[in-house]
Amino acid sequence: MQHSNIKHSTIQPPDHITQSPAIEAISQWRDYLGLCKLKVVAVMLLTALVGMCLAVPELPAFSTLFWGLSGIGLASCSAAAVNHVVDSHIDEKMARTRHRPLPQGKITHQQALLFAAIIGVIGITALVIFINPLTAWLTLASLIGYAVVYSMWLKRATPQNIVIGGVAGAAPPLLGWVAVTGSLDPNSLLLMLIIFAWTPPHFWALCIARKADYQKAGIPMLPVTHGEAFTKLQIILYTLLMVATTAFPYLTQMSGEFYLIGVVALNLRFMQWAWKVYNSDDKQVAMGMFRYSITYIMMLFVVLLIDHYYAFFS
Ligand code: HEM
Ligand SMILES: CC(C)=CCC/C(C)=C/CC/C(C)=C/COP(=O)(O)OP(=O)(O)O
């Protein structure tokens, strides 16, 4: 008896650790940040930043960069948090998503919605006050496009869900551009078009690798409804479409030779991955393509940026 008491007292963490409000608050904030899809939003902000920089020959004003990226970032995080609420019952069925804060019961639906509302209102208000109303309206439309149209309806309704929903995810370079100029420029639509065509290969590669998850959750993703062979063919076709869209910045002389060389190299590798996925049943190959798609979109926007300032400073 004595022995078991000693054992019991040694394995209990000290009270000041288990009950420290500071530690509890930090771990709560980690859960809230977990609602924001921070890595996805970070890459979106990179594309928004490039949209801002390409809108003018010189660097945009620091305050425009700061408030523009803050507003677009907060609105994107808000949309992501709503998606977590809407999808919590799907997320708890899928191995990839069941560790998320809502299925784990770390945050309630009400808390997540309140968080999404607060950061969403702050983000859109910042755009209205410090940027311009057009950017605020377009950002709000993207927020609703992802949080409501895609998450609540398209995702469960059609295998074309991510093609149509991709419009919201593709918007950030256009939002960044409008934040700087206050108007819609055709060149900004070209940047949006590249991400729009990139989204299906980006997502369907992951979806092939995680098909069992989506099947279990009853979500009509393309590999579930039309099979893997058909999805792989669609990946090839959208890859070719994406390659064609990436020619536009050069053809319209928005970007120069540096961009052309960079994008050709990136495209060759993307096509190689699409071909590999087409000819393989290995889920790891599909995951490899998904990971490369992320490197691709980041590098493409970095190359656009370098090309812009290379031309400007030389
Ligand atoms: C409707 C359009 C899109 C769909 C359906 C989609 C789908 C997905 C999915 C399901 C994941 C896995 C997330 C996870 O495991 O937590 C993911 C990851 C990712 N996506 Fe997308 N995506 C879309 C658009 C975008 C856009 C526009 C970007 C950036 C410009 C982007 C960047 C990323 C990044 C960086 C990751 C990796 C996140 C991580 O490692 O945690 N996605 N995407
Ligand atoms: C204002 C603005 C630009 C809004 C866009 C916001 C945003 C974060 C879009 C993300 C796109 C994305 C990761 C979709 C996957 O959702 P999913 O639900 O199919 O994936 P999941 O299963 O990983 O949740």
CATH class (in words) of the domain with range 31-181? mainly alpha
Task: Output the tens digit of pLDDT for each of the chain's 314 residues.
Answer: 333 333 333 444 554 455 588 888 888 899 999 999 999 999 999 999 999 999 999 999 999 999 999 999 999 999 999 999 999 999 999 999 999 999 999 999 999 999 999 999 999 999 999 999 999 999 999 999 999 999 999 999 999 999 999 999 999 999 999 999 999 999 999 999 999 999 999 999 999 999 999 999 999 999 999 999 999 999 999 999 999 999 999 999 999 999 999 999 999 999 999 999 999 999 999 999 999 999 999 999 999 999 999 866 77
Burial code of 214-241, b = ≥16 C-beta within 10 A, e = fewer?
A: beebebbbbbbeeebeebbebbeebbeb
Give distance in angstroms: CA of 107 to centre of ligand 1: 22
Distance from Cα 61 to the centre of ligand 2, integer Å? 29
Q: Give residue 202's Cα distance to chain centre.
A: 11
What sign has the CA pseudo-torsion 27, 28, 30, 34?
positive
| CA-nearest residue, atom 34 of ligand 1 | 40
The two tokens of residue 171 are: 């918007």
**Ligand 1, from 35, 40, 150, 291: best to mutate by most atoms within 8 Å of Cβ?**
40
Report how far ligand 2's centroid is from the alpha carbon of 40 (Å): 8
- What is the DSSP-derived secondary structure letter of residue 58? S
* 187 Cα distance to chain centroid: 22
| ipTM score assigned to the predicted complex | 0.96
Nearest CA to ligand 1 atom 36: 40
Instruction: Locate 225 and state its tokens.
Output: 């409804």
Could you tell me which residues come within 8 angstroms of residue 85 by beta carbon, excluding any fewer than 6 positions away?
102, 109, 112, 113, 116
Quote the CA–CA distance of 16 and 302 in Å, as a whole number. Answer: 47
- Ligand 1: atom nearest CA of 297 is 30
Check if the beta carbon of residue 155 is closer than 8 Å to that of residue 165. Answer: yes
| Domain extents in the chain | 31-181, 193-314
Name the residue at shortest CA distance from atom 27 of ligand 1. Answer: 169
